[in-house]
Amino acid sequence: MAVMTHLETPPILLTGMSGGGLSSAAKVLEDKGYYVAHNIPPRSIVELFSSCNQDDSPVTKVAAVTDVRSRMFPGSVEEIVAELKGTELEPTVLFLDARDDVLIRRFDSVRRTHPLQAGDSLKMGIQRERAAIANMRSKADIIIDTTNLSIHDLRRAIEASFGSMQHDAQHVTIESFGFKHGIPRDADVVMDVRFLPNPYWIPELRAYRGTDAPVADYVLSQPAAEEFITSFQTLLGTMLEGYRHEGKNFITVGIGCTGGHHRSVAVSEELARRLRENTDLDVNTLHRDFHRD
């Protein structure tokens, strides 16, 4: 990607399912210093990014939010992304998704109709939207499934996904989770560390988390932990080279244990620490179920 002439980071194109958390994500970006434009026509996205990239622009970080309502205007978001690909204005596409039943519950809670509902059911509107933006989802750089995320979890997910946003770096998020809460649907790779001894069954360790030294030392002292981390780091290195060749620069690796408190957290932190030794990688951790019971 070409070096930016004015913007500090690549522009962000925020899109996804209605009810998926676009407004909340936009607020997170605004808090991080982004100038955020909401639901502007597709052609105006290019004008916005170009204007913000001028030397005299007061904006150094910019994001555009677009949802299915923008499709009433000429052009398409997909065309804009294709037009900007390979240029200094190529955006990072962040797509927010959630399960249909969760989207229905969110719409019901605020007594809103879906933009594509017309005179049909809410479920029908959601299905129409999912079909309409399926292609955009397949082209997204980052997909965040907000099904089980609170606003605070969403903030952490966005911050972890974007990290320092170095222009030429490959962005890797190591996400710990608990299998009892479900596998993260936005993970590109999922690994299971439930084969390691569980600190939960050691009374003096149960109240700690994998970021605490007593638990981390216990988990990482296991011979199987060292063998797994070393082997997986080698395997992941090969995968990352392939992902880069295919143009995929945002990768989420899920590391799971039973509850997402101990083993997966400790292994994720150690794996991230080792990966950060590669200066071509921008590595961040996200502990999805860290605060859950």
- Which residues are part of a known binding site for GTP? 67-70
Q: What is the dihedral of CA 293, 177, 155, 130, to 10 degrees?
A: -110
CA distances from 102 to 12, 45, 57, 194 (A): 25, 30, 40, 29
Contact of 94 with 11, CB cutoff 8 Å = no
Distances (CA, A) of 162 to 119, 283, 286: 39, 9, 11
Q: Residues within the annotated binding site?
A: 67-70
How far apart, in whole angstroms, are the C-alpha atoms of residue 120 and residue 125?
7
Amino acid at 235: L
- The 3-state DSSP composition of the chain as helix, strand, coil percent (nearest 5) reads 45, 15, 40
Give the strand order in the sheet containing 189-192: 189-192, 250-257, 170-178, 281-287
Distance (Å, whole) CA 59 – CA 121: 42
- How far apart, in whole angstroms, are the C-alpha atoms of residue 269 and residue 174? 8
Max distance between CA atoms of the chain, in angstroms, equals 63
State how far the Cα of 1 lies from the Cα of 84, in Å rounded to an integer.
Answer: 11
